[in-house]
Amino acid sequence: MADKKQLRTIDTPFVALGPSGVAIRDRLGHLTPEDEKVLRLVGEHQGRLASLDLKARCQAGHDHDNDAWAARKRDLTEQSSSRIAGAITKATHDQYGLARRSLMAHIQNLEAGIRTLRHRLSLPIGEKGSKRAPGGYRSKGEWFHKSRRLATLEHRLEVARDDWTSGRVRVVRGGRRLLKNRHNLAAAQLTEQQWRQRWEAERWFLAADGESGKRFGNETIRVTPEGEVSIKLPAPLAHHANAQHGRYVLASKVAFAHRGDEWRDRIDANRAVAYRIHLDVARGRWYLTASWTRPVVQTIPLAAARAEGMVGVDTNADHFAAYLLDQHGNPISDPRRFYYDLSGSADHRDAQVRHALTQLLHWTNQAGAKAIGIENLDFAAEKTREKHGRKKRFRQLISGMPTGKLKARIVSMAAEHGIAIVAVDPAYTSMWGDEHWRKPLTSKTRNMTRHDAASVAIGRRALGHPIRRRTAPPHDDQSDRREHRNVQADRGVRGREETRPRIPGPRTRSVSPDAERTRETRTSKTVRDVRSDQAWVQDSLLITD
């Protein structure tokens, strides 16, 4: 084990906050050709306004203020409505803020890579590294190529810092990945027409923010309790209305199967509900998404989450490794594994993660635990080529793990099952779990993996116990004669460090069978310390005589 002086500080476990919002979706089926035409016209018109507003916001940079925001909204109101203009400007503000946060993350990633390159280039060629610091490069050729890469990263960092200072962001409405697919349609398995349809659909804007106090919680996109959907058309398209007050009523009706009762309670009380309509070009289907905020679920105290044990979960590239522990940190039963496949499309990966989490939560409820301990993973600074060098498969592994989506999924899904999520520091859990728990828990009927042992370590850290097991009893040639117990006990339990009960035998004839079996009742082996007031010893001597 590494020296304790070299170990980094381990953060204290904490109970993760519950979800702050809800989103549900249903399909808009049986739309007429006129319905689809109106939806496309509205999406194109408002999408064009959103693009112009985003351009204006990006050009303003740091000079933007509330007055500039109000001016942008006034310009949009003339071509749509006040509510649509408010939704567009708010979406633009959120997109600009996301781009700024992504730029800062990019700068930090470049700085980490440059530090690693400079360190390795400063070492002699062929010098071996350690577990904590990489060594020098293997050859002069590799050293030369890495020196060129250092110059490239330094240039990128300089450009990124200039963008951060000036307030410039680089945003693509419709997605940068889809934009790049246009230059390589064969690799994306798309024709030019298919790509164009997806590109236009992604750039449409068919969304409306909710308003409390308005009828059914939204004035622009209104959904009645019976599922009727109507849209307030912008001023230039008002002639397409088929209902009063410039509204267009769709022929399709929605019925939210998931959280439908909760949604219906909100719109009956005229509480705010935001809606978004979008087209899935690949499937040729229209969908309506409803979302709303709710007060953050108050987390239970950490002590209450630990009261009924814990399920430790180790996140891996293809499965969750879980182990049930009691409140004292003792592993119970056998390890469980919940597999998923992260290959294929984003929807397939998301469905796989949700299915595995559902199985995990159901098993946790069946086991009687009320909390799950999971690592607070964040690989944002660990994906660089420079940190892991030639370990390409490992870089692909950690890059493919859906850590961000997993956090959001498990917190929201666990809240519905009444299960608390305890986040722990991931430092040394795999290494110490493998060292202290893999071999002791392996048996003829139980096959322990490194990941299973890590789940035990995570669960013990979430419970507030040290990861290391109790040490084994001393050898027979020592004075204690294997008297120390190996069972796990809480640090506050009285007698946890005392000896196991002893049965009188050849080596314990000086101890009364009725005496309390603790270290304090043992008679010393030296004549000086023998107490003469033990009547039962004297009686036994008389009988012998």
Neighbouring-strand partners of residue 245: none
CATH for 445: 3.30.420.40
Q: What are the tens digits of pLDDT across the range 356-415? A: 999 999 999 999 999 999 988 654 444 455 555 556 665 555 555 556 677 778 888 888
In the prediction, which pLDDT does 468 show? 86
Question: Considering the domain boundaries, does residue 206 fall inside one?
Answer: yes
Q: Are residues 135 and 276 in the same domain?
A: yes
> Does one domain contain both 266 and 332?
no
Looking at the fold, whether 445 and 516 belong to one and the same domain comes out as no
pLDDT (tens digit per residue) in 429-480: 999 999 999 998 998 889 999 999 999 999 999 999 999 876 555 565 555 5
| Mean pLDDT of all residues in 223-242 | 94
The model's pLDDT over 48-59, given as tens digits with 9 standing for 90+, comes to 999 999 999 999
b/e 181-205 (16+ beta carbons within 10 angstroms → b): beeeeeebebeeeebebbbbbbbbb
- Residue 212 is part of which domain span? 21-293
Q: What is the pLDDT of residue 510?
A: 42
Domain boundary (293, 320, 341) is at 293
Q: Residue 332 corresponds to which amino acid?
A: I
Specify the DSSP class assigned to residue 381. T
Q: Are 266 and 322 within one domain? A: no
pLDDT over threshold 90, residue 206: yes
Residues 6+ apart with CB under 8 A from 493: 328
State both tokens at 21.
């919002």
More confident residue, 79 or 497: 79
Whether 14 maps to a domain, the answer reads no
Higher-pLDDT residue of 543 and 103 is 103
Q: What is the pLDDT of residue 532?
A: 43
Q: Which of 293, 326, 347 is a domain's end point?
A: 293
Beta pairing partners, 337: 321
Q: Strands 319-325 and 331-339: what pairing?
A: antiparallel
Q: Are 444 and 512 within one domain?
A: no
Selection from 463, 371, 375, 468 nearest residue 425 by Cα: 375
* Domain count for the chain: 3
Same domain, 269 and 385: no
Q: What mean pLDDT, rounded, does the chain reach?
A: 83
Do residues 313 and 427 both lie within one domain?
A: yes
Tens-place pLDDT, residues 485-532? 444 555 555 555 555 444 444 444 444 445 444 444 444 444 444 444
Q: Which two tokens stand for residue 498?
A: 């005392």
pLDDT in tens, 249-269: 999 999 999 889 999 999 999
Question: What is the β-pairing status of strands 310-315 and 371-375?
Answer: parallel
| 163-191 residue pLDDT tens | 999 999 999 999 999 999 999 999 989 99
In a domain, 470, yes or no: no
Pair 327, 289 in one domain: no
Q: Note whether 222 and 197 are same-domain residues.
A: yes
Compute the distance between CA of residue 237 and CA of residue 249 in angstroms, rounded to an integer: 14
- Angstrom distance (rounded) from CA 422 to CA 465: 14
In the chain, pLDDT over 90 holds for what percent of residues? Answer: 57
CA distance 58 to 66: 15
